[in-house]
Structure 1
């Protein structure tokens, strides 16, 4: 209240000053002072005072459009419509271009208070509208001007009628169609609005890309998408040659995450336009981004089926294999599926040799070997060869061009059918990616020292770049596992401002674990055991990991690490396919530690478990919904919304 008082006091003082100056020195910019004062009063909603100033201004300066409009609005607010109409009629008589004033008179006739708004005013406004439409110059710009003027007065129905007339007289003018569609959407006539947008593709010949930004704004719910789809399907049947319509239909399916329908229409369009798979390849990438792996596989299978003459055939083969790997990594794969995938990857890698397209396949193949170490372990003439050995050999072959003796050599020699070195020299970024992958595999195999050396090399080569930051985080994690918490904490502090959000978030989470738990016990034993448990998990020594985690619970009951321990135990249970136990642990975490940093993680993981492992869609939706409602700033919020929509149906 006090603030409001001083605000009004300031206005009164300013008005008094201006009035004194205006009255005492009429020759000194008096019109400008009056205009400024009138506008100030208008903005403060002091209409009764403002109208007195505007009345003088519009008489002395009839070309001042802003003052004219504000004068009319003051009269309307003060219920002096009759006075406003008389004033407008004077303007009409004097003007050589009376149309804008006729529009204003039409508007004023619609503003009478409901108690006074009898039939004659409504009829008069309709008469004026008809007169305007009859007398308007036969020109598209004139119709656009009149429509805009009506729209400014919030007479949207009149604005629509003006443009509907223009649409009949002047065919195929995008500006008219666009404005008409916009007004339809604003007034809630979604069917007409969306129909007008589709007509712009047919009659104006506009590509879908030019209309898409407008649709992104106006189509806000599933009903709009359904209506637009029906309109497009009907128009595609009548105009199959207009590709913009099919592109629009594909877009609606993508926005609804109806990936199967998007694939069918994209493939149909690709065949019709003889694009050799380029459009379908692009859709495959979109599907991967949204984790719709099965439809992405369909996309790349179609592209591969086109043969060597198809769009980027080698890349399509690589993407097909990579997508299968991603799908099996996020879902439970059978031994037969893993072996079949390994066969496809090996075949592709051998047939195509070292090049940009094969490097991601080689990295994923090596990871597949390491993750399924026991499955791929076999006896050879030179002894036991494990999955880790095969992974290491494969990646070292790709690094052979570097000739770096500090990396050591693989414990197995290439067979007669294997290349021991390649003529291909890896690009710097590709080399770094291979080194990080090899570092991860060696860490899992127990060679921590070489793993850190590889990470350090990448960090050095890409100091200020994302790859370097990723390698630095890997080194910080290693230091944490070894119990060097001070050094790890220093590196993590640097990474909190990393350019990549994911690295930054991971760094903050690990840094918080250190900050929250250092000093709780004088010898940091609990934190040390926790680091060792994480390393044991990385190396798939799950019994050892559980021993360390159990030791913390027994020796330090109620420790601050209790929520992290639950989370790691759940993660191990999921890795070993004990999904019910994993879900139970995550449920405990999400309830008992709902205030802690891992609560949103737990809910997101629970949603995924129920959706894809335990086949309980209802519980999955509940967990995603709780995450969305309770943890609005969570890094999982976008993914949770997508998963929720996917289960519910858009």
Structure 2
């Protein structure tokens, strides 16, 4: 008997669910007459279900049957004390332009908050759902005044945001976070919709003033954290650093936040800010590993900024650090960096090779051994000792199968073969790497494969491709002038071949590295005007936009080029960045 009862219940419940779905579909599709029949049936069988009541009311309203909707609501209110129904009734009058009865019922709903402040949540949400925002604000504010432990600041913030009242929105979010600090990241996401990378943006200024006032009047590290976050969005890393120092000096716990800030500043091409932050880490940490890492990053930045006359000092800095901290597993990153510096900057590849071969004897893990071998192999390529380099790259592949480092080594095997002019073998390795789990390696592999496959059949001797590969090697060897000259030879002697746009792009990139931006600009413009249907058109447009934006101080020209990426090259890998930079130049908020 019990089983039969359960089965009957399940069948009945399933029928109700189906009818509910059908009614919702009718309403969604604008078939209100059919929806009305369905909801009447559902509500008649379950008059306690408020969702069916409201759905039936809204269906009547869509059919302009306001008296029927009013009757439903007044009957319901005569039986049940449910304040949101007053809101629905008032809205029904509002649809008929009866503002007196509408406001009367809205007031009745809000007055219920005097009796039970906890009702404010559902009453306010009903007002919000009906876009009655002023009434929703009044409801939430009244409840918080009557019962201070209630916190509707999040709801108020969203309403103020909808209304465009940015200052009140910011204040409401901040007031909410004061009581609910676990929501800090959610609030930052909300803020990011309204602020810009431009520190002079009005919304940025408003938020900055609010946070500074908070720090002065009610010191709390949360406000320093928010202000630091705002400065990071504005790419003002020195000001963010000031806030992070304040947090660190109060807590004296971890330098992780400051380390992260230093890395952000470095990746965002603000080396001076990054240097200041890394130096602070060196001066304030007692942790040897953190100190070594900071020294390593400082030397990396100094090397990138150096001219030849600075190399002697940098060399001595490396030697001093290796003497201070020892040549051991702890300083592997420093050792690899020093080997690279000896070979690529001091032009002492043999010293670098001998130094790194000694590092191989330290008894470190396979991962660190492979990293040392990777640098060794790169230096051997620099010296055009290709076969020995290939041995090391192959050892890395075997030691760390399927790892990102292994895939990078396989790519370098292909690149080395390409430098040698063995295009067939290089292409076979690149085919495998197209499916690499490392997106960067996969992209690099695809680019090189396309270069080879598009140009290897141009002539039987593959002269242009061999010249290009040699120019590529010269660039790797830091012989930029020779590389540029050889690329010029290709441009002069192979004018009708498919390799020309790639040659123009490569040469432009070398011009940029030498800060010859006008020459780079001319190359990019040649690609844009002469190879509109080519696969490098978006590369050239984006690179030229970057030059205008960051080197030639011509933001309007940059904006026009970013716009071309957005509207003409929506499938480009630069699309997301172009859209973001276009909006920033236009002064939009960041989404």
Query: What is the TM-score normalised by the length of structure 1?
Result: 0.79
Q: Give the match for residue 175 of structure 2.
A: 199
The answer as to whether partners of 1:439 and 1:451 remain within 8 angstroms in 2 is yes
Secondary structure of the residue aligned to 1:443 is: helix
Secondary structure of the residue aligned to 1:82 is: helix
The answer as to whether partners of 1:483 and 1:531 remain within 8 angstroms in 2 is yes
Q: Larger deviation: 439-448 or 211-220?
A: 211-220
| Distance of aligned partners of 1:31 and 1:370 in 2 relative to their CA distance in 1, 3 Å threshold | closer
Q: How does 1:373-384 map to 2 (within 5 A)?
A: 376=346
Deviation of 1:252 after TM superposition, in Å, equals 0.9
Q: Give the match for residue 83 of structure 1.
A: 68
| Distance of aligned partners of 1:327 and 1:501 in 2 relative to their CA distance in 1, 3 Å threshold | farther
Q: How does 1:244-643 map to 2 (within 5 A)?
A: 244-275=222-253, 277-306=255-284, 310=285, 312=287, 314-326=289-301, 328-329=303-304, 333-355=306-328, 358-372=331-345, 376=346, 387-399=348-360, 401=361, 424-540=362-478, 545=483, 549=487, 552-553=490-491, 555-575=493-513, 578-607=516-545, 627=565, 630-637=568-575
Deviation of 1:465 after TM superposition, in Å, equals 0.9
Structure 1 residues 372-416: Cα deviation after superposition (integer angstroms, max 9, x where no partner) = 3xxx4xxxxxxxxx52223222222211x1xxxxxxxxxxxxxxx
Q: Give the match for residue 110 of structure 1.
A: 94
The answer as to whether partners of 2:143 and 2:150 remain within 8 angstroms in 1 is no
Secondary structure of the residue aligned to 1:497 is: coil
The answer as to whether partners of 1:304 and 1:313 remain within 8 angstroms in 2 is no
Alignment of 1:47 onto 2:32: yes
The answer as to whether partners of 1:300 and 1:316 remain within 8 angstroms in 2 is no
Secondary structure of the residue aligned to 1:520 is: coil
Q: In structure 1, what is the Cα distance between the partners aligned to 2:376 and 2:17? A: 76
Match 2:132 to one of 148, 152, 155: 155
Structure 1 residues 339-374: Cα deviation after superposition (integer angstroms, max 9, x where no partner) = 3333222211222123455222222222222223xx
Deviation of 1:262 after TM superposition, in Å, equals 0.6
Q: Give the match for residue 183 of structure 1.
A: 159
Q: In structure 1, what is the Cα distance between the partners aligned to 2:515 and 2:584? A: 24
| Distance of aligned partners of 1:300 and 1:172 in 2 relative to their CA distance in 1, 3 Å threshold | farther
| Distance of aligned partners of 1:625 and 1:299 in 2 relative to their CA distance in 1, 3 Å threshold | farther
Q: In structure 1, what is the Cα distance between the partners aligned to 2:40 and 2:583? A: 58
CA RMSD of aligned residues (A): 3.3
Q: In structure 1, what is the Cα distance between the partners aligned to 2:203 and 2:513? A: 42
Deviation of 1:133 after TM superposition, in Å, equals 2.3
Structure 1: give runs of 5+ residues left out of the alignment.
1-26, 377-385, 402-423
Structure 1 residues 197-238: Cα deviation after superposition (integer angstroms, max 9, x where no partner) = 111233x15256454455256435454333222111111110
Secondary structure of the residue aligned to 2:498 is: coil
Q: In structure 2, what is the Cα distance between the partners aligned to 1:133 and 1:600? A: 58
Query: What is the TM-score normalised by the length of structure 2?
Result: 0.86
Secondary structure of the residue aligned to 2:363 is: coil
Deviation of 1:468 after TM superposition, in Å, equals 0.5
The answer as to whether partners of 1:369 and 1:388 remain within 8 angstroms in 2 is yes
Which is higher, the Rg of structure 1 or of structure 2?
Answer: 1
Q: In structure 2, what is the Cα distance between the partners aligned to 1:272 and 1:534? A: 52
Q: In structure 2, what is the Cα distance between the partners aligned to 1:557 and 1:481? A: 22
Pick 1 or 2: higher relative contact order, CA cutoff 8 A, min separation 6: 2
| Distance of aligned partners of 1:250 and 1:543 in 2 relative to their CA distance in 1, 3 Å threshold | closer
| Distance of aligned partners of 1:625 and 1:45 in 2 relative to their CA distance in 1, 3 Å threshold | closer
